[in-house]
Every structure is written in C-alpha cells, then in structure tokens.
Amino acid sequence: MKNRYRTLLLAILLTIPSLHALEGEFGMELSFVGLNMDYREYDDNGVILDSEKSNFSEMIGGQTALFYELQTPHNNSARLSAQLQYIKGESEYVGSYLGSSSGYGSLVSRTQNEMTDVSLDYRFSYLYENNLYLSYGLAIGYREWRRELSASQVEIYSWKSLRPTLGFGYSSKNLAFGVVAQYQYGLNPEMEIVDSSLVFELGAANIAKVSLPLTLVFSEKFRFLMEYSYEYQYIEKSNVITIATTSGNYEAWEPESRTNNAYLKVGFEFKF
C-alpha cells in the first residue's frame, strides 16, 4: 500500500513541472439565452394528456461560465469550465383539470417556469493542420425545472447527469464554427409536488442535444459567441404512489413526457 502511495506521489510531482511549462488562461463567458419549448405528457396508450409551449421571447435568461484553458503543444487545448444557465418565463398550458374527464384541450392557461442548469465540464480540442478540429469531453451537471401551473400546483423536476460530448468543425485565427453532440444521462431523477410534499421517482430523464456554435475572434482576449441548440428530452413514467384521503385511497404518478427544446444564445467571451 505504501508503495502505491509513493508511486502516485511521484507521478504528481513529475506532472506539475510539465503543467507549469504550458500556457494557461482564465476566462469568462456571458450570454443571453432564449428558449422555444414544446413539452408534452402522454398516458400509457400514447395519448397526449397536456402540453407546454413557448417561443424564444417568452422564455429568456442567461448563461455564465468561468473557465481555465490550457494550451498544449501543436495548438491543441484543454478547457475546464463551470457553467450556470438560468431561464425564466411563461408557457401556454393546454390540458384539463385534475380528475376531469373532459380531455386534452378543455383547459388553456399560462404556466410560470424557472429552469436552472449547472455543470462542470472538461473538454479537449485537437486542431489539425487544415484548421479542422475534433473535440471531446465529459461533464457532470444538475438540472431543475420549477413548473408553476397555478398558485396551488407547483411541480419541481430535478436530476443530476453525466454528459459525454463530441464535436468537430473549423477553427482559424478569426473564426470558428462546428457541430457539438452531447448525451445527458440522468441520475436519480425525481419530481416533487411542492404543496403536498409528494416526491415521485422518475423512471428516466435523459437528453440528446446537438449544438451549432459560431465564434468570431476579435482579439486574443475577446470573442463574440452565437449558438443554436436543439435538445430532445425524454422522461419515463414514475413510480405509483397510493394516497389515502377521507373519501378513500387513490393512486398518483408522473406520466411519460417528451420535450423538443430549441435554444438561441448570443454573448461574448473574454480572457483575463
């Protein structure tokens, strides 16, 4: 056991000088974000129960990131970043009252939404001689959606996730663009009904995301950012909870849902 610790310590000591020999910089990103949301819940037969829809002007927010970028030999780079995205706004709810037999479309209202996404991301980029690049990485994240259908019905969806990422594109001194694909595998997803303190364990909460980033380089310290992203989110039906009332027992669960989200992001990045 002692020999293992000595070997690990030696490896760390040998790595530190090589890291110091590389050039690294801290930086920050600040961006505005708009969300076009299309969320739908389904029963066990695939019949739609309710939906939430918004456009880019109804759900808006921002994204900030603090990063450390290390330039490795041959213009390759490694970046470690901590990111926070927050979006707030209204969506149109189409569905029905709880317990109603009127069906989808019998109730139309407005829902208040807050979405928070936090992640710690590591990404390595390999630049080829023809200015094409390949990037890959892994992130860990946390996602929360507060859905206020009414003052007495507030739902909070939340889960952690592992997020492998793969991208490719073109990068020169003045311009960079490409395609980035990411899969978010949800860990311990749940949905809480705030007023009743009921917590449902979701069967799954996974996201497939594709982004088209565009970067205009104005100087070594300042860049302009634009990005369009599409994500498909799938939430699997939850466990069933039996609720006892004075009039008898009844069962409750969170149904399956599928969401098609589109994001528009505009901002800038600067290095210290």
**What pLDDT sits at residue 21?**
44
> Is the distance from CB of 38 to CB of 51 less than 8 angstroms?
yes
The superfamily in CATH containing domain 24-271 is OPCA outer membrane adhesin/invasin (2.40.128.100)
In the predicted model, what is the mean pLDDT of the chain?
91
Each residue's pLDDT tens digit, 218-265: 998 999 999 999 999 999 999 999 988 888 888 999 999 999 999 999
Is there a contact between 189 and 235 (Cβ–Cβ < 8 Å)? yes
Tokens standing for residue 159 = 């889960």
- The residue among 138, 180, 137 whose CA lies nearest residue 162 is 138
Strand partners, 5: none
Q: Where are the alpha helices (DSSP H) in the chain?
A: 2-20
Are the C-beta atoms of residues 206 and 164 closer than 8 Å to each other?
no
Instruction: Give dist(CA 53, CA 103) in Å, integer.
Output: 18
Domain boundaries, the chain: 24-271
Predicted local confidence at residue 53, as pLDDT: 98
102's CB contacts (< 8 A; 6+ apart) are 96
What would the pLDDT profile of 29-64 be if each residue is shown by its tens digit? 999 999 999 999 999 999 999 999 999 999 999 999
Question: Model pTM?
Answer: 0.88
In whole angstroms, give the CA distance from residue 129 to residue 177.
Answer: 16
DSSP annotation of 73 reads G
